[in-house]
Amino acid sequence: MAKKGLMYALLSALLLSTMNLFVKMLGSNIPSGEIAFFRGLFGTVAVLIVMYTQGIRFSKEDRGHLLMRGLYGGFGMVCNFIALVHLKLSDATILFQTSGIFVLIFSALFLKERVPKGAGKWLLLIFVAVMVMVNPFSFTGFTWFALVAILGAALSAAAYTTIRLISKRGKHSNFEIMAYFMITGMIAGLVTTDKLVMPQGTDWLIILAIGGISVVAQFFLTGAFVTTNAVVAQFLQYVGVFINSFYGFLFFGESLSVETIGAGVAMFLSSVMLARLKEQSGPLQEGKVIEDKIK
């Protein structure tokens, strides 16, 4: 089971990185919001088919929380796609990883879950690493799209935290929660697109690839958290940073700066330490927040 979980985690990292590659390719012709719309459309169709075949119905409870989860996740997806199009794949992917840190903060603020003792220094190190990457004090080096990536990570973390709140009641199917995300993802994509562009030729093939890969990647990601240690599965996703960096070099001639490498390593090590502290500090040893967030 553990070996299967590791394989699932690595496959999900590969597939999500490949999806990011296609998003960046498509972003030269199609607005980021429109790409998010199509991804949401494919996901909605797939989830609704599963709900229909399994006899799962939309419930009347917690609709406010379900809607907020969808809105956070939908607009977070749009921010992530915008960052993928305008930043280096490696930079965007590293900044996306800050979502785990926001989950830790939001769960403490809104769910009253205890922040692990000794977490302060690791959070500070992550903050410094992010500042190095964003470079807010240099006019030539600063880019607003880095802040968009961080906003996307924060919105995704808000969605994960909302799922954690919903899951405590235990009254909703995972597919129902996913349906709200996919449907609102479509809406978020539309409202953030100034002008719709009709895909041409190979654009449709890339759109189909994005939709199909995202569904399959979700399957492997879910399998990873079910069949192996949640912390191990989560941080194997950092393999995606290196895959994205390779794709960026191979297809777009991108290169990693020394600062980016250093910041990425610092964020990875700090995140691992935070996960260990979290696992040792209380009843969330099973990684329930992490497991819930992927459903």
Cα separation, 45 vs 50, in Å, equals 9
Query: Rounded to an integer, what distance in angstroms lies between the CA atom of residue 169 and that of residue 56?
Result: 17
* Both structure tokens of 291: 């497991």
136-186: pLDDT as tens digits: 655 455 688 989 999 999 998 898 788 778 876 667 777 888 888 889 989
SS3 assignment, position 166: helix
* Cβ-based neighbours of 144, under 8 Å, separated by 6 or more: none
pLDDT computed for residue 187 by the predictor: 93
Residue 1 has pLDDT above 60, yes or no: no
Query: Hey, how many other C-beta atoms are within 10 angstroms of the C-beta on 107?
Result: 21
pLDDT of residue 33: 93
Closest CA to 262 of 125, 84, 118: 125
Find the radius of gyration of the CA atoms of the chain: 18
The model's pTM: 0.81
What three-state secondary structure class fits 251? helix
How far apart are alpha carbons 55 and 184 in whole angstroms?
22
Q: Compute the Cα dihedral for 98, 65, 33, 236 and give only its sign.
A: positive
- Is a pLDDT exceeding 60 seen at residue 99? yes
Residue 7 has pLDDT above 70, yes or no: yes
